[in-house]
Amino acid sequence: MVNDSVMTALLEFRSKRNWEQFHKPKELASALTIEASELQEVFQWKTEEEVAHLLSSPSREKIVDEIADVAIILSYLCHDLGIDLNGAVLSKLQKNEAKYPVEKAYGNAKKYNED
């Protein structure tokens, strides 16, 4: 997820505030949706052109901050559950390779059980 020194800083931040007690797995999963939704809100009602403008305006910092918030929660979650994220992603990627074979999925984001 994040590198070791950043993870250490995250854990120190949490420990200093005695916030481990709030970080139950279910709460962190809920927080992940909340943070992701805040990122989504930055793009709400916007056209593709307006999003492009946003990304090269001072609002970019807000977007980066919201992405960081998601990453922070995800990092705590992986740390607390003992998940090796690189391994988890590779394992899921293999499942996705089987689920979306190139010959069927090429240029097509539909699931195969859709109309």
Residues within window 28-67 making contact with a copy of itself, judged by CB under 8 A: 29-46, 48, 51, 54-55, 57-59, 63-65, 67
Binding a copy of itself by CB under 8 A: which of 49, 76, 83, 98? 83
Buried residues in 8-45 as b, exposed as e (16+ CB within 10 A): eebeeebeeeeeeeeeeeeebeebbeebbeebeebeee
Instruction: Report how far apart the first and last C-alpha atoms of the chain are (Å, whole number).
Output: 37
96 vs 112, beta carbon nearer a copy of itself: 96
CB of 112 to a copy of itself, least distance (A): 13
CB of 26 to a copy of itself, least distance (A): 4
